[in-house]
Amino acid sequence: MDAYERSEAGLDPDPIRFYTTPVVVRLLVALSGGAQHTHHLAAVTGCRWSETEQALGDLQRRWMVVHEAWSYRLTRSGYFLANRLLTCAARLFRALYSKPGFSLPPMPLVVEGVLDDIGHLTTPCYREALQNPGDAGDEMKEWMISRGYISEADGSLLLTRTGEAYLTFLDRCGRAIATIERFNSFFESHSLSGIPDFAIKDIGDLMSSGLVLYLPTNSEQGFGYFLNIVGEAGSLHGVSTYSLPHIAEAIWKRVIAGAGVELIIAPELAEPLRQEEFVGRGRDAAAFPNFRLFVSTVPITVGLTVTDRALSLGLYLADGTYDTVHDLVSRAPEAVQWGERLFQYYKEQAVPIEDFFRDRENTAGTRQ
């Protein structure tokens, strides 16, 4: 077997409840500013030291913080999770309190402004009531009406703007937290710099992905899982900074079969790819209108393949080298759509390879 899926096990099935407890949220706010001395963290939570110590221990066990000497700091995954949680909290605060002249207060005040109700709504019974207010018990309905989450009109209970804001927070934030926790080691060892904000915001769309670890016995066998995705594709969109002959061959077979293929490559790959895969092999790309090749005008920070059926996402390691061993792979529609949006982002900032070579030749001629 040349590839297998690995998932992180032993995590809380409802992690958003843990991360939205007052002590944990306050710790994440403080640690987002950098490493903090232990006695400072004991003060900022407003809780007993035993409760703060327990929360720090739980965060350590989840690989979100590390203890060094007399201080604590967030891990790479911890920064990612804290950023998503606090960004969602800011968005919720803005939805609840925005008015003409509104400006977002400092993050500690933002968190305190939404913390109490979040604590209630992350419990299963309250969340179910918010999702289906008509099925809630009388006491729960009265509480939600009193908090302005639902209103009654013509005998029906409907979510208010406030209720919709909280429900959106629970969905987006919960999915993001679950994704980061599940792939903690992947995000810890890889770089997310350069990935556009919209893709980070919707990272929860990758929640149902699997982490594929390629274990090659040789270079061709090592990508069996990926080649299966390519081989079944009815359409294929890709973004890459490198090319391997057997992968290029598999993609070309899909082109010949009539699949719509669009590839975006880094500038330094354009000439080697043209010489090795087209000139050197006698392939005429112009004979296949279903095939288009583009050159990116912005740095490529991912390895992305999106087909009509699947997504495969690779990232650069923290040291700046591309990881050819690990990919996040998913067949979930929301993950495929996430990948397609990311592809379109790169396509909007790319030029057809014909234009790339023409511009390069014109530039060279001008210099002469």
**All structural domains of the chain:** 12-189 (1.10.10), 194-367 (3.30.870.10)
Q: In the prediction, which pLDDT does 87 show?
A: 92
- The HSE-up count of residue 49 (CA atoms within 13 Å, CB side) is 4
Mean pLDDT by 10 residues, the chain (368 residues): 37 73 92 92 88 94 93 95 93 88 87 82 85 87 89 86 90 92 92 92 92 60 80 96 89 96 95 86 89 95 96 93 90 96 97 90 65
What is the three-state SS of the chain? CCEEEECCCCCCCCHHHHHCCHHHHHHHHHHCCCCEEHHHHHHHCCCCHHHHHHHHHHHHHCCCEEEECCEEEECHHHHHHHHHHHHHHHHHHHHHHCCCCCCCCCHHHHHHHHHHHHHHHCCHHHHHHHHCHHHCCHHHHHHHHHCCCEEEECCEEEECHHHHHHHHHHHHHHHHHHHHHHCHHHHHHECCCCCCHHHHHCHHHHCCCEEEEECCCCCCHHHHHHHHHHHCCCEEEEEECCCCHHHHHHHHHHHHCCCEEEEEECHHHHHHHHHHHHHCCCCCHHHCCCEEEEEECCCCCEEEEEECCCEEEEEEECCCCECCCEEEEECCHHHHHHHHHHHHHHHHCEEEHHHHHHHHHHHHHHHC
Q: In the prediction, which pLDDT does 366 show?
A: 61
Q: In the prediction, which pLDDT does 15 show?
A: 85
Q: In the prediction, which pLDDT does 264 show?
A: 97
231-255, pLDDT tens digit by residue?
Answer: 999 999 999 998 888 889 999 999 9
Q: Which amino acid is at 296?
A: S
Q: What pTM was computed for the model?
A: 0.86
Q: In the prediction, which pLDDT does 362 show?
A: 75
d(CA 83, CA 42): 22
Query: Tokens at residue 277, please?
Result: 């895969």
Q: Are strands 311-315 and 302-307 parallel, antiparallel or unpaired?
A: antiparallel
Closest CA to 63 of 144, 180, 228: 180
Q: In the prediction, which pLDDT does 71 show?
A: 94
Q: In the prediction, which pLDDT does 216 show?
A: 53
Closest CA to 258 of 296, 305, 308, 304: 308
